[in-house]
Amino acid sequence: MRRNSSSAGARVASLVVLCLCITQLTNHAVAKHRKSSDEGKRREQEGPQPRDEPSGDQGAEEPEECVPLDVEALKDYPYCQLYERVCAHQDTLVTHDFRYSFANPKRELVPELPYVDIWNFPAALEANTDALRGRQPKYHLQFRAASAHEPTPALRHPSFSNCTLPVVLAPEFPFNMGEFFARAVSAVHDLELDPRVTLVMLTPQSLGLAPFHSLLLQPYSKYPLITSAALGARGCPLDMGPDPGGGGGGSGSDPARQRQRRVDHEEEDDSKWSGEGDGGEEEEEAVPAERPVAWSPDASQPHCFKRLLYCKWGIEARVAAPLAEVAARVVGAMQAAAQLPVPRLAYTGQEGEEGEEEGQEQGQQAAVSDAAPNDPDHDPRDPAQLRVLIESRHGPVRNIKNLQDLLDACKEANERGFSAGGFRGVSCAATSFADAATGRVSRARFLSNVAAVRTAHVLVVVHGAGATNSWWLRQGSSALVELRPCLFGTKYASWPDKYLPPQHQKSRDRIRFFALNVEDPDQCENGDIEAGLFNKTLAKGSLTWDQSFFARDKHLRLRPGPFLGFLRHVAALLAPGDTEAYVAAREADRLHGYLLPGGGLVLGKLGVKNATVWAEEEEVEVQTFNDWGGPRY
């Protein structure tokens, strides 16, 4: 089946448009990132490698061994469908399976591939766009039978790779990190795929991957994650110059010649396929040899596959893996690849700037000396000093408006002898998990976020995707405090309560979850979207008018005393490796906090509808605090 790639191949190859190679260069760049983790494996399998990256001249090399995937087991897997003899071209899969062929008198209709039904547009904003009418039309790949008019030589003369097995992932909410981790990554974890499959992310509307996609799926394939667009990209011919991207500056006459040849080629094509019925004895057409790609062991970019899996996890999909187990795998892979940077976070009571940008951190003198973020056995934390890391957000919604007050109070509390559980001191730091201007989380930023949360005992976040970072906390000795703005933890509690609390409980409280529901109107402020609606600076038509979105998206201005009082409660239930007291508090309905009007705090269960009324009816003690979280009598 392999096509020869000599003279005629070279001719056809030169017809391919220049820009198509850019996708491949991107892939190589990803591969470069991934290299460290896979280097060992790759060396073992490929023997000595003269070069780091797959390059143009290895056409003669044998491909690596083929994927011995246990397809029988996978066929029963409810969320994946196996398709055979499939080619990929742009956003279309083309099946050569005889069961769908028009030549088959008993042919079946080509099935419709499952859609990504629900997703929000990933805007360059530090906010979920659901409240901004960001919901997008459902999306899927087209699926059709092979035709008389296939667009490329590779599709006209398919050679089905049995060494590259694409697993196309079509999860809901693909650009929400929390949803992606909880649904797609855990589902892939559950599949227990052979790491020699190629993972392909279905990104609607030709969108690119977010760095978190690649990093979270890193443990599950030895190849870089690619988009469905990359899977369907035309290849890059082998004999193109060394600088396929530099179209403008290169040899001036070439592009024109190529255009000319391309036209000739298309005309030739038309005459070949039109009119004459079955083109049995048409002129032999060569399939160009193409550059290998980082996502496949094939010697030339494959376009057609003996087998392809298409997996879609709907909202109702039940995925079994406890997320702490998945998280351990993800963090372990980062550590094994020595990807985690030394955190530059300082628990000095100043907001630090963790991330790839150099030079704007404050209070760096006392920077944590954590020399070994990639050593799984090294814990940089002083077991007696409670370290609290607070997420600092800068987008239009869900900011903590008085972060510095909280950090100052923390310092004050420490100086005045903070003591709770096994802790005899407290130090706080704040960091943003995203770039403040764009809301983007770059690859470097993502890795530094992982490293940063691993320096903390307690991570404090306002409800949102930032809470996903709680999964990177050190298991067995850490806690997450999720802040819910006014009404979001009571009236609309069924929303936040269905995510993290059961996920952490199912993970056997490896990371202890605490909700702090802010029910004091003085400690909540309208988010910018809601405020913009009321002051008429935001067009009504650009909004989804939904009270639960407005509740979720409020800003907070927390009173430091009750906040620190709640941290003492958390610290008291944070005995390393021992969740007994924590579980007992949950069973006694006094695990979570409600901040009441007037500055009081009550402890309770999740889902209390009106904390004031509930505290009265149940005669729950309302705790009050001085400014640094000490009890006020």
Ligand X SMILES: *[C@@H]1O[C@H](CO)[C@@H](O)[C@H](O)[C@H]1NC(C)=O
What does the alpha-carbon distance between residue 92 and residue 231 come to, in Å, rounded to a whole number? Answer: 10
User: What is the closest distance, in whole angstroms, from the C-beta atom of residue 551 to ligand X in the complex?
Assistant: 10
Q: Is residue 317 within the footprint of ligand X (CB under 6 A)?
A: no
Residue matched to tokens 């899969």: 93
Q: Please say whether the beta carbons of 273 and 131 come within 8 A.
A: no
What does the alpha-carbon distance between residue 550 and residue 271 come to, in Å, rounded to a whole number? Answer: 62
**Residue among 355 and 600 whose Cβ is closer to ligand X:** 600
Residue 237 carries which DSSP code?
Answer: B
**Residue among 324 and 615 whose Cβ is closer to ligand X:** 615
**Residue among 247 and 532 whose Cβ is closer to ligand X:** 532
Return the exposure string of 65-96: e unless at least 16 CB atoms fall within 10 Å of the residue's CB, then b.
eebebeeeebeeeebbbbbebbbbbebebbbb
User: What is the closest distance, in whole angstroms, from the C-beta atom of residue 489 to ligand X in the complex?
Assistant: 10
User: What is the closest distance, in whole angstroms, from the C-beta atom of residue 612 to ligand X in the complex?
Assistant: 5
What does the alpha-carbon distance between residue 540 and residue 229 come to, in Å, rounded to a whole number? Answer: 35
One-letter amino acid at 96 equals H
**Residue among 11 and 157 whose Cβ is closer to ligand X:** 157
User: What is the closest distance, in whole angstroms, from the C-beta atom of residue 194 to ligand X in the complex?
Assistant: 13
User: What is the closest distance, in whole angstroms, from the C-beta atom of residue 300 to ligand X in the complex?
Assistant: 13
**Residue among 353 and 530 whose Cβ is closer to ligand X:** 530
Both tokens assigned to 173: 């909410």
User: What is the closest distance, in whole angstroms, from the C-beta atom of residue 548 to ligand X in the complex?
Assistant: 14
Q: Please say whether the beta carbons of 303 and 87 come within 8 A.
A: yes
User: What is the closest distance, in whole angstroms, from the C-beta atom of residue 616 to ligand X in the complex?
Assistant: 9
> Which 511-540 residues touch ligand X, going by CB under 6 A?
519, 528, 531-532, 535, 537
Distances (CA, A) of 291 to 58, 224, 296, 545, 616: 9, 16, 11, 51, 72
User: What is the closest distance, in whole angstroms, from the C-beta atom of residue 483 to ligand X in the complex?
Assistant: 16
**Residue among 128 and 612 whose Cβ is closer to ligand X:** 612
Residue whose C-beta lies closest to ligand X = 531
Query: DSSP letter string over 361-422?
Result: -S-GGG------TT-TT---S-TTEEEEEEE---SSSS-BTTHHHHHHHHHHHHHTT--BTT
Query: DSSP letter string over 63-130?
Result: P-------HHHHHT-TTEEEEEEEEEETTEEEE--GGG-TT-TTPPPPPPPPPB---B---SSSS-GG
Q: Is 497 helix (H, G, I), strand (E, B) or coil?
A: helix
**Residue among 407 and 551 whose Cβ is closer to ligand X:** 551
From candidates 1, 124, 256, 539, binder to ligand X by CB under 6 A? 1
Distances (CA, A) of 247 to 57, 230, 241, 289: 22, 20, 10, 21
**Residue among 216 and 531 whose Cβ is closer to ligand X:** 531
| Cβ within 8 Å of residue 541, ≥6 positions away | 133
Q: Is 603 helix (H, G, I), strand (E, B) or coil?
A: strand
The partner residues of 310 in beta bridges, in order of sequence, read 81, 168
User: What is the closest distance, in whole angstroms, from the C-beta atom of residue 589 to ligand X in the complex?
Assistant: 18
Site string for ligand X, 61-100 (x = CB under 6 A): -----x----------------------------------
> Which 573-632 residues touch ligand X, going by CB under 6 A?
610, 612-613
Q: Is residue 162 within the footprint of ligand X (CB under 6 A)?
A: yes
What does the alpha-carbon distance between residue 364 and residue 4 come to, in Å, rounded to a whole number? Answer: 61
User: What is the closest distance, in whole angstroms, from the C-beta atom of residue 519 to ligand X in the complex?
Assistant: 6
**Residue among 98 and 534 whose Cβ is closer to ligand X:** 534
Both tokens assigned to 572: 């008291």
Q: Please say whether the beta carbons of 459 and 327 come within 8 A.
A: no
**Residue among 102 and 534 whose Cβ is closer to ligand X:** 534
Phi, psi (5° rounding) for residue 410? Answer: -60, -45
**Residue among 253 and 537 whose Cβ is closer to ligand X:** 537
What does the alpha-carbon distance between residue 85 and residue 134 come to, in Å, rounded to a whole number? Answer: 37
**Residue among 243 and 618 whose Cβ is closer to ligand X:** 618
Burial class from Cβ neighbours inside 10 Å (0-12, 13-18, 19+) for residue 276 reads: exposed
One-letter amino acid at 225 equals L
Site string for ligand X, 415-444 (x = CB under 6 A): ------------------------------
Q: Is residue 374 within the footprint of ligand X (CB under 6 A)?
A: no
**Residue among 32 and 394 whose Cβ is closer to ligand X:** 394
**Residue among 162 and 404 whose Cβ is closer to ligand X:** 162
Give the residue among 26, 67, 57, 451 at the shortest CA–CA distance from 222. Answer: 67
Residue matched to tokens 């003279």: 7
Q: Could you tell me how many residues of this chain bind ligand X (CB under 6 A)? A: 12
> In the complex, which residues of this chain contact ligand X (CB under 6 A)?
1, 66, 162, 519, 528, 531-532, 535, 537, 610, 612-613
